[in-house]
Amino acid sequence: MRLAALLIVVATTTATAQDLRYDPGVTLGCLAGTTVSERCVGAAARACMDETSGGRTTVGMGGCLDAERRFWDDRLNAAYGPLRAAHRAGGEGPRADALRDMQRAWIAYRDAACTYERMGWLGGTGGDPATAECLMEATARQALVLERWLRAERAR
């Protein structure tokens, strides 16, 4: 009976996707206020974990971290497509192909690195948020690189 009561309490305090208080404005505000963009990586996820009921559970952490990963993935794609198109439009087909090949290799690297991170948890429940954080951080770093390259391309 006690176990059933405990499970009910845990189930009602676990963050679900609908309960997440993720606000991308936290990261956008950080980016607008700094010249060191890397400092902003994880800002919205941390705020989400703090403001979401159950945000510090493995489910809550994973949800908040994945929400920010999607934010950075959108930015990554918003830079990658135009950068590749600019290379093709500028008569730099081989450079566009090199960008594509680099991005494919980066995806394989990111996935392998985050699998390695997960293995450090030896199958424990911390592996899920650790993987989510790894994916979010790697995606953010790559998005920032692609955005920098796109700005340089546009400045040419």
Residue 1 lies in a domain: no
Residue 138 lies in a domain: yes
Please report whether residue 3 resides in a domain.
no
6 domain residue, yes or no? no
Asked if the structure places residue 7 within a domain, the reply is: no
Has residue 8 been placed in a domain? Answer: no
Residue 151 lies in a domain: yes
| Residue 4 is assigned to a structural domain of this protein | no
Domain CATH for 65: 1.20.1270.180
Q: Which residue range(s) make up the domain with 20?
A: 13-155
pLDDT at residue 1, as a whole number: 43
Q: How far apart are CA 80 and CA 103, in angstroms?
A: 9
pLDDT digits (tens, 9 = 90+) for 52-79: 999 999 999 999 999 999 999 999 999 9
Tens digits of residue pLDDT in 74-128: 999 999 999 999 999 999 999 999 999 999 999 999 999 999 999 999 989 899 9
**Count of the separate structural domains present in the chain:** 1
Interatomic CA distance for residues 3 and 7, integer angstroms: 6
